[in-house]
């Protein structure tokens, strides 16, 4: 049988030919006859080479400690940053089968999740008791849009806790979360993975890296995921791809071009309402939405160009330009208790008792939007010796142009009501139900921010470093409201950062730090009649901590005590129509512990815990009753543990067993602290067989099949997954 000359056949022929030549071709002997008896076999020499600036290690070599982080604006080990930091590594993401950004962040203490809020879609996170919605970044660039983030193109996730406006601009009261994209490497490596699981889960991923020349490489990551849910009628469908081209890798001039594209089409889930201060007690699969008409659609497109010029080993200039476009559209149901009036219209209200025929109003959440951002960043890093001291200098500028349009999807046809004991996800609807929807005229936002910053890390005495930094942000925001008139806001804000580090040796670091941040009125792409006249909120973080490298650096351990506080939170006084009161105060005190790395060659561990005490210290106007209450979705403790062990030689050393537990303390769902969610713990497990070119892995989630709630909003909460299983096979070639 003859092979047709298809591209695949040609590729196979080429690989076979190269293999044949390498195995059988004899070295040139210049006519000299070989004498096998006199030949000497030299010992094998293993050569490992890593081009400057190019990391070719795979995830297993990096382990849970991950790679260097850029959350300090320069590539650093976490021990050199005078703030609490966590790296969620690629290996940890893979072992736990964390296919979404949210799932990967389960490993992070001090972090909790919010449910769909006021029609919001995408990742909604609270960090140290403060919203982190506007504090998400992708490769150091603000990624504020509403969408469901994926992990198929992530190398790691970096979390920097505490105020960080000096580094990243507005926001960062509780900290920032930075996604680190996969980049082209100086290696030929390919990986394909397929996963199936309960609830009809299916996921296909591919990671292809190819060296085209000595310093030119291309990488492509692709993903397709489809799944139903343990909630009747809920589903998710998404796909994405992300190519990267890099040339001049590790040379004096390095250029990288990348593109990221994902698309989601889901049936959203707003969970269950509360009754008597806790979640409605119904079967976990009961869904009060409408699966045939509800949808959550989003599309993300991000293009990035980056140029690095290396003057020498310690000095470089990095220039980055990013253009991003985000689209989203939502039609969802928020379940609320209600009654029926004379026209059979559902009116929300609180019942005195719950029966199967208690009315549930299908409150409509229907809105959409699109955002466009253009970012330009220039960072210069260098090391110099001045005045007998070593300086590590950072100087940078940033320009951010933001445009947004937001609208509401309206219809004269009301959603049909349902009942507590009836979860009919496919109700009978009028034939013109879908066609009756239309978009309102959008509210439009335009913002421009110019920023400049500088930071110096000074080794003023041996083993002692002083870090000082400052940033100035000039922001302009214009808001167009067709129905209510135009608004605008201008702000100029300074942010500072300081830290003192004592490093008696390369294994020990002790530090104290101080940083400020701010939240402008237009932070969430909107203004109203009050906020347009209201200056930014101010925040600060004070922290003392220690970081140790144990077991010759294989195990990283850190501890920290902190206070994160907001000194002038917005409050509403209805008697003052034109400005918010900046009279609110709140704080979070806490202690964090973390241990990450290898205990020995077989045993790895990722563990952290955060104990927090949060309080609203001052409140006024309509919020006056919240004084001395605990902020929403801020538990007094969170923890996470994941550990794996490679079984002994009696199983060829190819088997790995792992497991972990995560826990979240009691949380309040409203500012008055009258609605609460109980604490919970979830246990997961893993068993994996790793061969040279493939691996087979079984993941089990919520092994004890505990019922718990994780997504929190004032009007509803979303339950977490019950017992579930996923089986993955991965091939490397």
- What pLDDT does residue 57 have? 64
Q: What is the pLDDT of residue 343?
A: 78
Residue 656 lies in a domain: yes
CA dist 505 and 511 (Å) reads 14
Q: With 70 as the cut, is the pLDDT of residue 28 above it? A: no
Q: What is the pLDDT of residues 444-500, one digit of tens each?
A: 999 999 999 999 999 999 999 999 999 999 999 999 999 899 999 999 999 999 999
What stretches of 162-235 adopt beta strand conformation (E)? 175-181, 189-197, 201-213, 216-227
From its phi and psi, is residue 558 left (phi > 0), alpha (psi between -120 and 50) or beta?
beta
Contacts of residue 225, Cβ cutoff 8 Å, sequence gap at least 6: 99, 202, 203, 204, 236, 237, 238, 239
Q: Are 584 and 616 in contact (CB under 8 A)?
A: yes
- Looking at every residue in the chain, the average pLDDT score rounds to 91
Phi, psi of 647 (to 5 degrees): -70, 160
What per-residue confidence (pLDDT) applies to 25? 36
246: CATH: 2.40.170.20
SS3 (DSSP) at 699:
strand
Considering only CA atoms, which of 712, 660, 478, 545 is closest in space to residue 82? 545
Residue 35 — pLDDT band, cuts 50, 70, 90?
Answer: very low
Residues contacting residue 472 through CB under 8 Å, at least 6 positions apart: 451, 452, 453, 492, 493, 494, 495
User: For residues 109 and 612, is the Cβ–Cβ distance under 8 A?
Assistant: no
pLDDT at 185 over 80: yes
Is residue 511 one of the residues assigned to a domain?
yes
pLDDT value of residue 4: 40
Supply the DSSP symbol for 134.
T
pLDDT in tens, 657-700: 999 999 999 999 999 999 999 999 999 999 999 999 999 999 99
What single string gives the DSSP state of each residue in 245-302?
Answer: EEESTTSSEEEEEEEEEEEEEEB----B-EETTEE----TT---S-TTT-EEEEEEEE
Count of C-beta atoms within a 10 Å radius of residue 709: 22
Residue 52 lies in a domain: no
Lowest mean pLDDT: which of 8-12, 338-342, 521-525, 598-602? Answer: 8-12
Q: What is the pLDDT of residues 252-277, one digit of tens each?
A: 999 999 999 999 999 999 999 999 99
What would you measure as the largest C-alpha separation in the chain, in angstroms?
107
Which pLDDT score, from 0 to 100, does residue 126 have? 96
Overall domain count for the chain: 1
5 burial class (0-12, 13-18, 19+ CB within 10 angstroms)? exposed
* Cα atoms in the Cβ-side hemisphere of radius 13 Å centred on 493: 24
The span from the first CA to the last CA of the chain, in angstroms, equals 26
Partnered with residue 255 across adjacent β-strands are: 247, 307
Cα dihedral across residues 656, 104, 77, 50: positive or negative: positive
| Whole-number Å distance between alpha carbons of 711 and 720 | 8
Domain range for 522 is 59-430+445-732
**The dihedral of CA 672, 678, 683, 684: what is its sign?**
negative
Task: Report, as an integer, the average pLDDT of 707-713.
Answer: 94
Once rounded to an integer, what is the mean pLDDT over residues 641-664?
A: 89
Concatenating the DSSP letter of every residue in 468-514 gives: EEEEEEEEEEEEE-TTT--EEEEEEEEEEEEEEEEEEETTEEEEEEE
Task: Give domain status of residue 15, yes or no.
Answer: no
Q: Is pLDDT of 40 > 50?
A: no
């Amino acid at each position: 049988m003859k092979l047709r000359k298809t591209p695949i056949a040609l590729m196979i022929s080429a690989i076979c030919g190269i293999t044949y030549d390498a195995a059988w071709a004899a070295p040139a002997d210049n006519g000299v006859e070989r004498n096998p008896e006199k030949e000497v076999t030299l010992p094998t020499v293993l050569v490992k080479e890593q081009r400057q600036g190019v990391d070719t290690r795979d995830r297993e070599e990096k382990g849970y400690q991950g790679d260097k982080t850029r959350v300090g604006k320069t590539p650093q080990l976490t021990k050199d940053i005078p703030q609490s930091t966590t790296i969620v590594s690629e290996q940890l993401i893979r072992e736990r089968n964390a296919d979404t950004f949210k799932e990967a962040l389960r490993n992070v203490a001090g972090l909790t999740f919010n449910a769909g809020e006021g029609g919001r879609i995408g990742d909604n996170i609270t960090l140290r008791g403060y919203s982190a919605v506007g504090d998400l970044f992708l490769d150091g660039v603000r990624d504020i849009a509403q969408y469901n983030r994926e992990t198929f193109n992530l190398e790691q996730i970096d979390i920097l806790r505490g105020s960080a406006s000096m580094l990243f601009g507005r926001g960062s009261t509780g900290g920032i979360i930075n996604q680190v994209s996969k980049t082209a490497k100086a290696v030929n490596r390919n990986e394909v993975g397929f996963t199936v699981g309960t609830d009809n889960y299916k996921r296909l991923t591919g990671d292809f890296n190819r060296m085209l020349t000595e310093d030119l490489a291309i990488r492509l990551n692709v993903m397709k995921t489809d799944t139903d849910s343990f909630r009747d009628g809920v589903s998710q469908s998404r796909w994405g791809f992300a190519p990267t081209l890099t040339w001049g890798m590790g040379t004096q001039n390095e250029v990288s071009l990348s593109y990221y594209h994902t698309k989601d089409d889901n049936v959203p889930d707003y969970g269950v309402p509360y009754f008597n201060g806790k979640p409605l007690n119904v079967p976990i699969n009961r869904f009060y939405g409408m699966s045939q008409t509800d949808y959550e659609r989003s599309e993300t497109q991000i293009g990035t160009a980056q140029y690095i010029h290396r003057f020498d080993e310690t000095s470089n200039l990095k220039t980055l330009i990013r253009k991003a476009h985000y689209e989203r559209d939502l039609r969802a149901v928020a379940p609320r208790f209600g009654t029926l009036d004379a026209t059979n219209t559902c009116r929300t209200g609180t019942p005195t008792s719950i029966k199967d025929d208690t009315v549930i109003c299908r409150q409509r959440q229907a809105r959409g939007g699109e955002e466009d951002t253009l970012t330009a960043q220039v960072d210069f890093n260098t090391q110099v010796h001045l005045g007998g001291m070593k300086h590590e200098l950072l100087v940078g500028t940033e320009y951010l142009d933001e445009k947004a349009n937001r609208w509401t999807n309206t219809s004269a046809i009301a959603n049909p009501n349902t009942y507590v004991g009836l979860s009919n996800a496919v109700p009978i609807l009028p034939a013109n139900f879908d066609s009756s929807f239309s978009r309102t005229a959008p509210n439009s936002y335009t913002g421009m921010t110019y920023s400049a910053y500088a930071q110096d890390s000074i080794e003023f005495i041996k083993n002692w470093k002083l870090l000082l930094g400052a940033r100035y942000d000039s922001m302009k925001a214009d808001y167009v409201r067709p129905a209510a008139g135009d608004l605008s806001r201008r702000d100029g804000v300074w942010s500072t950062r300081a830290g003192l580090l004592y490093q008696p040796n390369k294994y020990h670091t002790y530090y104290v730090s101080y940083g400020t941040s701010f939240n402008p009125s237009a932070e969430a792409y909107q203004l109203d009649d009050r906020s347009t006249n209201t200056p930014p909120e101010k925040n600060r973080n004070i922290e003392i901590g220690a970081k140790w490298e144990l077991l010759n650096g294989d195990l990283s351990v850190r501890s920290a005590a902190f206070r994160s506080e907001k000194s002038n939170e917005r409050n509403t006084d209805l008697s003052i129509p034109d400005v918010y009161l900046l009279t609110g105060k709140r704080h979070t005190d806490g202690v964090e512990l973390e241990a990450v790395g290898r205990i020995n060659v077989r045993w790895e561990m990722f563990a952290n815990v955060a104990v927090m005490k949060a309080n609203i210290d001052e409140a006024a106007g309509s919020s006056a009753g919240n004084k001395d209450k605990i902020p929403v979705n801020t538990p007094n403790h969170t923890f996470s543990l994941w550990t794996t062990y490679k079984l002994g030689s009696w199983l060829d050393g190819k088997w790995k067993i792992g497991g972990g537990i995560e826990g979240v303390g009691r949380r309040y769902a409203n500012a008055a602290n009258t609605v609460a969610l109980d604490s919970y713990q979830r246990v997961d497990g893993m068993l994996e067989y790793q061969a040279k070119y493939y691996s087979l892995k079984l993941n089990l989630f919520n092994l004890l099949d505990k019922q718990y709630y994780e997504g929190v909003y004032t009007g509803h909460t979303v339950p977490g997954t019950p017992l579930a299983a996923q089986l993955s096979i991965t091939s490397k070639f």
